[in-house]
Amino acid sequence: MPHPVDIHVGKRTRQRREIRGLPQKELARQLGISFQQVQKYESGANRISASKLWQLCIVLDVEPGYFFEGLDAGSRNRPRAVGEAPQEGYEADPRSARQVLDLNQNFQRIANARVRRQVVQLVKSLTGS
């Protein structure tokens, strides 16, 4: 039975990979492993070693703590239980991760720098930032 922390780290890996727009095969290639191994990491079936976690940080452009965000600090060994308040931020919902990916891909297609700045300003104004 996979440990809840391994499941959580795997989910965070998948979410970040999807946000970055990386297929499992490409992530596997960059890590020097098979895509089946990536699948096992993402499901929590296999634990990610410290050295592989470090490589993941580089490839996915995150700090190591990213993988543990959202774990219940009280027990330090399980993700939030069903019914508990979700973690703040867009990555708590995998559908939102897909929306962020779509937004990012389309944003990068905007050639005009002025228009890109205006889009950023629009998003900030919509969030109240």
pLDDT tens track for 3-54: 999 999 999 999 999 988 899 999 999 999 999 999 999 999 999 999 999 9
- Both 8 and 70 in one domain: the answer is yes
Q: Which ranges of the chain would DSSP assign to H, the alpha helix?
A: 4-19, 24-31, 35-43, 50-60, 94-108, 113-127
- Both 80 and 110 in one domain: the answer is no
Q: Which domain holds residue 104?
A: 93-129
Is the Cβ–Cβ distance between 99 and 67 less than 8 Å? no
Q: For 89-126, write each residue's pLDDT tens digit.
A: 444 555 566 777 778 778 888 899 898 888 888 888 88
- Asked if residue 78 has pLDDT above 70, the reply is no
Measured between alpha carbons, how far is 47 from 60 in angstroms, rounded to an integer? 18
- Both 81 and 100 in one domain: the answer is no
pLDDT for position 91: 46
Number of domains in the chain: 2
> The whole model's pTM is what?
0.62
Confidence of residue 81 (pLDDT cuts 50, 70, 90): very low
- Both 108 and 81 in one domain: the answer is no
pLDDT, average across residues 66-84? 62
